Chain A
Amino acid sequence: MSVESDTPAKPADGAFASDNRQAVTLGDSARDYVNRLRGGDMGSLPAILGLVVLFVVFSTLHDRFLTTYNMANLVVQAGSIIVLAMGLVFVLLLGEIDLSAGVAGGASACVTALMLIDHDWHWLLATIAGIVVGAVIGLAIGALVSFLGIPSFVVTLAFFLALQAIPLKLIGSGGSLRFNNEVLRGLSIKNVPVTAGWIAAVVIVLGFAALALWRYRSRSARGLVHQPLPLVIIQIVVLAVIIFGLTALLSANRAPNPNLFNISGIPWVLPVVIALLLFWTFVLTRTRFGRHLYAVGGNAEAARRAGINVTRIRISAFVIASSMAAVSGLLAASYTGKVSPGSGGGNELLYAVAAAVIGGTSLFGGRGRAMDAVIGGLVIATIPNGLGLLNQAAYINLLVTGGVLLLAASVDAISRRRRSAAGV
């Protein structure tokens, strides 16, 4: 149990006298943060440090790594991994795994492509069809795991094998479907107009600032636990720097030959990722459903006794994971411009699991955020991007990625042990 020793309650204490003192100054919250880190609650810190290290290493080894052209490329490459990982966060939160998410994405993208090519559907309808395919797959997995009690590892391993049959049957071996719908393909190869990009950036920063300040005011007014004002302002400034910096970077003409072409603006993938990030962050942190997800991941028996429908929560997590996998499959198809029978059957899934875990989502359940997928996905995408520039052989890429995953899982396991020892 805990290492702290309890002193008997002193009647002289005011009720919760120490409670209001919680992190009122910047120093207090800094000390709190350090204590949490020491206790093993690392969050996304290892991933952010890893990203910094990768950027330093690759930018010193290759002068084209830090160009805006390559950075935009990196954003597009990371998109599908991030979205897949964001879906996986939901099953990992419950301590489950979905090995079939990659091929579920491939199968969904294949259905969308067929609807576009053979049936001439509107891109939006075709996209919805693909996502529905993903949702149905998730429903089946969730039902098998919940009702029959088969471990998700086994169910999704079976689905991993069986789902590869769908594109193979629909496309035929050796074939591939072109994926050249203007809108869907445009997600990867077209950019948001520069002005629109700036407007969106300003809206996001102002929205975040307004929300954070409103939250600070309403909580401090009622004497509830809140962050100190300087910390809130620091958070807003950091976000503003990142968002505006990224927008500025991507708004510049990044064509390798700027006199011949003009490539500028935020790739469309980025707004898609940000929208999903905001949506799922809201669901996880501000709704009953999100709270119940964490509860089931932390202690399913306690959740059941509290009247939470554990079966429903578990099935929903798999449905979300597979639906997000469908979106990810579409983004991957958009990037490569085609869907082939092998789509999603390669390393996509393991990259996405690695991304979520590196970002700070625990494999043991109960801990994770949508943001983890973004940070971890950037780390995972940076490795092949940088190694590719350095003309390294494919085996190096696999070795490094595998090593990074192992490192992340070790950090997860060790910090979990520290948490239970230090009780933070």
Chain B
Amino acid sequence: MAQPLLELRGVNKSFGVAHVLHDVDFAVYPGQVTALVGDNGAGKSTLVKIIAGIYGRDTGDYLFDGQSVNVHGPRDVAALGVEVVYQDLALCENLDIVENMFLGREETKGITLDEVAMESRARETLASLSVRTVKSVRQSVSSLSGGQRQTVAIAKAVLWNSKVVLLDEPTAALGVAQTRQVLDLVRRLADRGLGVVLISHNMGDVMEVADRVTALYLGRVAADVHVEEVTHGRIVELITAGRSGDLGIAENPATATV
């Protein structure tokens, strides 16, 4: 297998006495969708925030393209080409699609905004993602549906030639058709060679679109497998019990100490 684009090795993280992540290894490969699954409190959000640079690590290595990197904040992570699309999307409803995609990184000509360049690039990016459902790139975001907003947020993340995109529950609030669009988009991102991390509670989505599954159980990695090797039911077992047949944590840490 190719070298991972982004890799965490032996990451531990505690908040006071709560030991949230135990020796977590996590890898994102180019051209693959890695699903990160786990129950509430399994440590998914903490792991994502460590990758995003919002939290530091107590121990463990952060590798990008095989090189160990020092990450001190979200800006360092963005500079590496890692973008996170959070569940609340962080779009300004009063601005249009182009304005949102370039927010904080506007292109300028002298002191004036270079709208022509920004609109052209936004359109190219959307077209390259085969996004055809928005009427105009000058529509305000408030007029978009949930799926379209998710699309804009994802397009915003890939606009900057990013290499790794983390999507936090991208289909959580969407209807059937909209979920379809977003999953197609997720697949296209990976097909373009990006490393995609899909955080999801929806096993159907995971089974359909992911190449690999990393299951977290109580802060430990229960399994890191190809999606063909597991079934829907086994992933659920990994999430809820931490083990499933020959997969999973040898001894259930929740009951081991009893």
Structural contact, A423 and B144, CB atoms closer than 8 A: yes
Interface residues of A in 410-424 (CB under 8 A from B): 419-420, 423-424
Interface residues of B in 87-116 (CB under 8 A from A): 88-95, 99, 103-106, 108, 111-113, 115-116
| Cβ-based interface call for A308 (8 A) | yes
In whole angstroms, what is the CA distance A423 to B104 when docked?
24
Structural contact, B144 and A306, CB atoms closer than 8 A: no
The residues of B that contact A260 with a CB separation of less than 8 Å are none
Please, could you name 6 A-B residue pairs with CB atoms under 8 Å apart, sorted by A? A6-B148, A9-B132, A15-B132, A16-B126, A219-B116, A224-B115
In whole angstroms, what is the CA distance A230 to B99 when docked?
26
The residues of A that contact B256 with a CB separation of less than 8 Å are none
In whole angstroms, what is the CA distance A338 to B95 when docked?
44
| Cβ-based interface call for B232 (8 A) | no
| Cβ-based interface call for B145 (8 A) | yes
In whole angstroms, what is the CA distance A19 to B135 when docked?
5
Candidates B75, B95, B132, B140; contact of A17 at CB < 8 Å: B132
Structural contact, B177 and A5, CB atoms closer than 8 A: yes
| Cβ-based interface call for A367 (8 A) | yes
Structural contact, B180 and A8, CB atoms closer than 8 A: yes
The residues of B that contact A16 with a CB separation of less than 8 Å are 123, 126-127, 132, 137
Structural contact, B113 and A6, CB atoms closer than 8 A: no
Candidates A5, A15, A39, A303; contact of B130 at CB < 8 Å: A15
Nearest CB in chain A: distance from B113 CB, A:
6
The residues of A that contact B89 with a CB separation of less than 8 Å are 302
The residues of A that contact B106 with a CB separation of less than 8 Å are 288, 291
Closest A residue by C-beta to B173 = A1
| Cβ-based interface call for B56 (8 A) | no
The residues of B that contact A419 with a CB separation of less than 8 Å are 142
The residues of B that contact A295 with a CB separation of less than 8 Å are 92, 95, 99, 103-104
| Cβ-based interface call for B252 (8 A) | no
Interface residues of A (CB under 8 A from B): 1-2, 4-10, 13-19, 22, 39, 218-219, 222, 224-225, 286-288, 291-292, 294-295, 297-299, 301-303, 305-308, 366-367, 419-420, 423-424
13 more A-B contacts (CB under 8 A) besides A15-B126, A19-B123?
A6-B133, A6-B145, A6-B175, A7-B177, A9-B181, A15-B130, A16-B126, A39-B143, A222-B116, A225-B136, A294-B92, A294-B99, A307-B104
Known contacts A1-B146, A19-B123, A297-B94; is-contact A287 B111 (Cβ 8 Å): yes
Candidates B90, B113, B127, B175; contact of A302 at CB < 8 Å: B90
The residues of B that contact A292 with a CB separation of less than 8 Å are 104
The 10 A-B pairs at the shortest CB distance, nearest first, are namely A306-B104, A298-B92, A298-B94, A366-B94, A302-B90, A15-B127, A307-B104, A306-B103, A2-B145, A225-B138
The residues of B that contact A5 with a CB separation of less than 8 Å are 145, 177
| Cβ-based interface call for B147 (8 A) | yes
The residues of A that contact B75 with a CB separation of less than 8 Å are 307
* Binary A-proximity of B119-134 (CB < 8 A = 1, otherwise 0): 1100100110011111
Structural contact, B132 and A13, CB atoms closer than 8 A: yes
In whole angstroms, what is the CA distance A188 to B112 when docked?
34
| Cβ-based interface call for B240 (8 A) | no
The residues of A that contact B184 with a CB separation of less than 8 Å are 9
Structural contact, B120 and A1, CB atoms closer than 8 A: no
In whole angstroms, what is the CA distance A13 to B130 when docked?
10
Structural contact, A1 and B103, CB atoms closer than 8 A: no
Structural contact, B103 and A308, CB atoms closer than 8 A: yes
Closest B residue by C-beta to A15 = B127
The residues of A that contact B115 with a CB separation of less than 8 Å are 224
The residues of B that contact A299 with a CB separation of less than 8 Å are 90-93
In whole angstroms, what is the CA distance A301 to B104 when docked?
12
* Binary A-proximity of B48-86 (CB < 8 A = 1, otherwise 0): 000000000000000000000000001100000000001
The residues of B that contact A14 with a CB separation of less than 8 Å are 132
The residues of B that contact A297 with a CB separation of less than 8 Å are 94
Most buried by B among A10, A298, A303, A423: A298
In whole angstroms, what is the CA distance A366 to B142 when docked?
12
| Cβ-based interface call for B178 (8 A) | yes
Structural contact, A308 and B104, CB atoms closer than 8 A: yes
Candidates A9, A219, A291, A298; contact of B113 at CB < 8 Å: A291
Closest B residue by C-beta to A12 = B132
Structural contact, B126 and A8, CB atoms closer than 8 A: no
The residues of A that contact B126 with a CB separation of less than 8 Å are 15-16
The residues of B that contact A286 with a CB separation of less than 8 Å are 112-113
Structural contact, B144 and A2, CB atoms closer than 8 A: yes
Interface residues of B in 174-188 (CB under 8 A from A): 175, 177-178, 180-181, 184
The residues of B that contact A225 with a CB separation of less than 8 Å are 119, 136-138
Known contacts A6-B147, A299-B93; is-contact A19 B137 (Cβ 8 Å): yes
Known contacts A22-B136, A224-B120; is-contact A294 B94 (Cβ 8 Å): yes
